[in-house]
Amino acid sequence: MPIQGALLLGFIVCSLPVCLFRPFYGILLWTVIAFANPQSSFFYWYWAGEFPWAVAVAVPTLLGS
């Protein structure tokens, strides 16, 4: 299990509630996930690499705005 993937997964999951209360943070996080594609480092975890992370960030961001 790569430590980079575990840290990134933890960062994204912990950032989801922040997106609900700080929509600008959600927009920035969505931009990074959509264009930089950091979830490609999850190649050891098939379910995490195939999960739609941009949608998971967009939903609380839109609900918080």
15-59 residue pLDDT tens = 999 999 999 999 999 999 888 887 776 666 667 777 888 999 999
More confident residue, 6 or 35: 35
Domain count, the chain: 1
Residue type, 53: W
Contact (CB, 8 A) for 26 and 34: no
Q: Which residues contact 39 (CB under 8 A, 6 or more apart)?
A: 8, 12, 33, 48, 49, 51, 53
CB 39 within 8 A of CB 13: no
Range of the domain at 44: 3-64
